[in-house]
Amino acid sequence: MNTKYLSLSALLATVYFVLSIAPIGFPIIGLSSARPIHISEAIPLIYVEIFRLHIGLLATLIGGIILSIYLVQPPFYLLNFIPATTSALIYGLIKENKPIYAYMIYLIMLIIYYFYPVVGPAYLYPSHIWFHIIIFSTLILSSKFWTKINIFLQLLLATLSAQLSGTILFEIIYYPNFLNVETFKYIWLVTSYLYPIERVIIAIIATILIYPVSKLIKRYFGEYLDFIKASL
C-alpha cells in the first residue's frame, strides 16, 4: 500500500510540475520580474477532489518543492510552493468533512494578512478584503446545501486561501527591505479588483475539469482508486 501510495503521489507531482512550467497565468502587480500566477493552481484542487486529501496534498507539496527549486524566482523563491499547498490543504479538509479546521486556518490567515504591521490592508486600504468576506460568508450560509454552486464556492475559498498565504509571504519578504509603504498601498488598491477575477477564473477551471477528469479516472482506474481510498 505504501508503495502504491507514494508512486501515485510521485506521478501526480510530476504532472503538476510539468504543467506548472508553462507560462500561462496572471502577472503579479508591483513585481514585474515575478512568475505569473499560473492556471496550474487549479491542479491541486482537482487532485484533492479525485484522490482525497492525503495524496492530493502530498503530490502538490512534492511537485511544488521541485518546481520552486527548479525555478528559483520571485515572488517567494524557494517558498513558491506554499500557496498551492495551502489551497490543497483547505479544500482537502473541507472534502474530508472537517470544514471547521479549514475555516479556522482561513480566518487566521485573513487576520494576519489584514492586520500585518504597518503595511497590512487594514491600515492602507481597508476594503481590500471585500471579496474574501463575501465568499466566506456565502459559503458558510450555503453549507447545508450540497450543490454544484456550493462546490464552486469551496474551490473558490481554497484558491483564495492560496492568495492569503501568498500575500502574507509577500508582506514578510518585501517589507521593509524591498518595497515601501506607498508601494504597498498602491498594490492593495489595484489588486482589490484583480485578485477576485484571477481567483474566480482558477475556481471555474477547476470546477469544469473536475467532472470529466473524475469520470475518466473512475472509468479506467476505478478499482485501483477505490482501493487507495479505502486504505487511507
pLDDT tens figures, 59-79: 999 999 998 898 887 778 888
| pLDDT score, position 9 | 86
Residue with the bigger pLDDT between 140 and 87: it is: 87
- Based on the structure, what is the number of domains in the chain? 1
The count of other CB atoms within 10 Å of the CB of residue 119 is 22
Report the pLDDT averaged over residues 28-40.
57
Domain that holds residue 160: 2-231
Q: Phi and psi at residue 143, in whole multiples of 5°?
A: -65, -25
Closest C-alpha among 81, 80, 31 to residue 190:
31
pLDDT band at residue 135 under the 50/70/90 scheme? very high
d(CA 27, CA 23): 10
Mean of the per-residue pLDDT values of the chain: 84
pTM across the whole model: 0.85
Q: Is the dihedral of CA 86, 88, 94, 96 positive or negative?
A: negative
| pLDDT score, position 145 | 58
Which CATH number do you get for residue 93?
1.10.1760
pLDDT band at residue 88 under the 50/70/90 scheme? very high
d(CA 15, CA 204): 20
- Which range has highest mean pLDDT (17-31, 34-48, 134-148, 183-197)? 183-197
Share of the chain above pLDDT 90, in %: 42
> What would the DSSP string read from start to end of the chain?
-HHHHHHHHHHHHHHHHHHHHS--EEPPTT-TTSPPEEGGGHHHHHHHHHHHHHHHHHHHHHHHHHHHHHS--TTTGGGTTHHHHHHHHHHHHHHTT-HHHHHHHHHHHHHHHHT-TTTSHHHH-GGGGHHHHHHHHHHHHHTT--SHHHHHHHHHHHHHHHHHHHHHHHHHHHTTTT--HHHHHHHHHHHTTTHHHHHHHHHHHHHHHHHHHHHHHHHHHHHHHHHHHHH-
Tell whether the model's pLDDT for residue 171 goes beyond 60: yes
d(CA 14, CA 20): 10
d(CA 120, CA 69): 29
Q: Is the dihedral of CA 138, 144, 148, 151 positive or negative?
A: positive
| pLDDT score, position 225 | 62
| pLDDT score, position 25 | 58
d(CA 231, CA 40): 28
Q: What is the pLDDT of residues 179-231, one digit of tens each?
A: 899 999 999 998 898 889 888 888 888 888 887 776 776 666 666 666 555 65
